[in-house]
């Protein structure tokens, strides 16, 4: 099994202590069209067999329409399993993470150490999949590489924003990326470095970091400047000197050197 598959199994094991709701956990959703049908699709099947559309509906309305923290923890393994393995059908990761990190309703800081550890293990494995993505084939016909940089920055910024909602300090996730010296994670790291510091779209660069005060953007920038990112890229330029994309690594090195000297 992969790390992500193992992490999902751990979620099912840890959160098995929570029983299925015995009655419809209605809020305002009880007045929605087809409400009873939607509830039946959630409560009648075993947790692992709830279909995608039913769990998507739940993920988008947890707390506001559907029950409390205990109900949420019952459904959480299936929600995160769908997030991990059915991205082609779309579950909004920020929305899911906002439900986990909701300090009023979710009460995540009060969850048991075992529950929090299972969620962290999942997030770390899920994040590794994102930064290991083979981005080269996505914009292989974009000679300028401009579309690639904007797209990749926006994509990874979205995932980091989701993690920020649950964990105010992104360091463990960024460090995990930093310490992965395989080819795809390294090229992606160089690409993200370039996009982060040189994204030519100021609106995209500002709004992609969650708030207008720039707190999240500043946090990521501070991490870049205090962590051995430059050393990673310098080593990678030697390790992958014969790769066709080594120029990306060289450009990222130059950008970081400029930022560090500023």
Tens-digit pLDDT profile for residues 15-70: 999 998 876 555 444 445 566 777 788 888 999 999 988 888 888 776 666 678 88
For residue 226, the model assigns a pLDDT of 94
Question: Is the CB of residue 102 less than 8 Å from the CB of residue 63?
Answer: yes
The yes-or-no verdict on residue 140 having pLDDT over 60 is: no
Question: Is the CB of residue 129 less than 8 Å from the CB of residue 80?
Answer: no
Three-state DSSP class for 66? strand
State the average pLDDT for the chain: 82
Burial class (CB in 10 A: 0-12, 13-18, 19+), 50: buried
The tens digit of pLDDT for each residue in 204-224 reads: 444 455 443 467 778 888 999
Q: Which two tokens stand for residue 252?
A: 């990222």
Q: How many residues does the chain have?
A: 262
Distance CA 4, CA 176 (A): 15
Q: pTM for the whole thing?
A: 0.86
Distance CA 121, CA 119 (A): 5
The tens digit of pLDDT for each residue in 181-191 reads: 999 999 999 98
């Amino acid at each position: 099994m992969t790390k992500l598959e193992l992490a999902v199994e751990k979620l099912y094991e840890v959160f098995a202590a929570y029983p299925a709701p015995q009655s419809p956990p209605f809020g305002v959703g009880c007045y929605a069209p087809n409400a009873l049908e939607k509830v039946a699709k959630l409560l009648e099947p075993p947790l692992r067999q709830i279909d995608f559309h039913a769990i998507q509906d739940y993920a988008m309305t947890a707390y506001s329409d559907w029950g409390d923290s205990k109900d949420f923890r019952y459904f959480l393994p299936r929600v995160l399993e769908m997030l991990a393995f059915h991205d082609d059908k779309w579950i909004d990761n920020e929305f899911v993470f906002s439900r986990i990190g909701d300090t009023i309703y979710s009460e995540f800081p009060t969850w048991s150490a075992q529950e929090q550890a299972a969620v962290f293990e999942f997030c770390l494995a899920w994040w590794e999949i994102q930064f290991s993505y083979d981005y080269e084939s996505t914009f292989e016909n974009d000679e300028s590489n401009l579309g690639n940089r904007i797209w990749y920055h926006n994509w990874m910024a979205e995932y980091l924003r989701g993690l920020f909602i649950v964990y105010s300090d992104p360091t463990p996730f960024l460090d995990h990326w930093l310490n992965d010296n395989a080819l795809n994670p390294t090229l992606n790291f160089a690409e993200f470095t370039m996009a982060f510091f040189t994204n030519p779209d100021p609106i995209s660069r500002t709004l992609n970091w969650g708030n207008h005060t720039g707190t999240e953007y500043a946090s990521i920038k501070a991490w870049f400047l205090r962590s051995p990112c430059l050393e990673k890229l310098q080593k990678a330029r030697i390790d992958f000197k014969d790769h066709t994309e080594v120029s990306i690594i060289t450009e990222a090195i130059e950008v970081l050197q400029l930022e560090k000297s500023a």
